Structures are given as C-alpha cells and as structure tokens.
Amino acid sequence: VKSDSGLTVPVVGVAGYKHVGKTTLICGMVQKFSSQGLRVGVLKHDAHGFVATPEGTDTHAFAEAGAMAVAIASPDGHVAGEWRLSTEPSLAELVARVGRVDLVIAEGFKSSEIVKWVLLSEIDRARSGYVMPDFCHDAGRVEKVLGWLVPGPPYQVAEDSRGVYDRNDIETICERTLQTFGFGVG
C-alpha cells in the first residue's frame, strides 16, 4: 500500500460491500456538490479489472495494437483516455491525474487512509452493527469514518460516537463532507 500523503485535493471515500449502493450514493453526492458550483472528480477502484473501451472503437483498436496510452479530445474540451501503467497507481497519483477539481470522491480504495463514509445494508447492520466492514481492515481505523449510512431508521448515534445517517439524506451527507474539509466555514 502506497502512501496517500501528498493529496492535492480533498478526497472523501465511500466504502461498503458490493451492491450496497455506492454508485447511487456517489451520483447523488456529485449532483448535490455540482449544484453548489463545486467541480467534482470521481475515482473508482476496480479490483477485478475491466474493459475500458468497447470493441469496435478506435480507442480499443489502438490499445489492442499495443498503445500504452490513448487519449481522444473534442473541441468542447472533452477528453477520454486509457492508460496502461507498469504498476497500480497510488491514490495520490490518480488524484493528480484527475486534474483541477475542488473535491474527489473515491469509491473502493480499501486500503487508503482517507476519511470515508461507510454504507451498510440492513443485513450488515443486523449482523455486526456499526463496525468497519472487513474489507477495510487494512486502513480501517474508525477515526477515519465520517459516519455510517443506513437504509432506514433507527439513526441513533453508534457506540463509537460516529453519526448514523439515512443514506438517502444526500443533503446532510454532503454538508458533513464539506464541513470535514473546511469548505464554506466561517
């Protein structure tokens, strides 16, 4: 695990088991932050690899031919790309690559010691209460948890004194996130 020091932009994580709703939550956060005029970047960690470029596209053809990097640019400032690096980039390297944004939301960076929201399903909560999911244990110090996000009441405060919030309460989740990084305070 590389160090994540040297982050040039505030980064908030969204952690949780598969299919718990991380992508939906992140989309809600992106919408809310964007409506407030913030420029948001999203980083996603895919442990299983993925096909970035569909067959039939030029990008795919170039990558198949052996290109280490492919970038496509449009006059409206839209750039899409695909890179093959020699090793997994650190979170800091990815954040630097994201460029000029005000805030980065990171999904699935298990072993990064960033502050994070933890999404729990009803089953997660019933099974183990408000505990850091197993997969976070590498860097899962509870101090890094901004709060537990659950699908329904009760929303009482967990024993570790982290807050428990409705995962649909995007307003509060975003507000707390910004407070954490000192946005708009004062």
55 near its own copies, rule: CB under 8 A: no
Is there a cis peptide before residue 133, judged by omega within 30 degrees of 0? no
Does residue 47 bind its own copies (CB under 8 A)? yes
Separation of alpha carbons 95 and 78, rounded Å: 18
Residues 90-109 that bind its own copies (CB under 8 A): 94, 97-99, 101
In the block, residue with structure tokens 């960076």: 109
Smaller CB separation from its own copies, 59 or 120: 59
CA distance 161 to 151: 19
C-beta of residue 148 within 8 angstroms of C-beta of residue 156: no
Least distance from C-beta 17 to its own copies, angstroms? Answer: 16
- When asked if residue 79 is in the footprint of its own copies (CB under 8 A), the reply is yes
Write the single-letter amino acid at 108.
G
The region of 12-20, 29-37, 136-144, 150-158 touching its own copies under the rule CB under 8 A is: 29-37
Structure token digits, residue 160: 């570790």
Q: Which residue ranges make up the site for its own copies (CB under 8 A)?
A: 23, 26-28, 30-31, 33-35, 39-50, 52-54, 58-59, 61-62, 64-89, 94, 97-99, 101
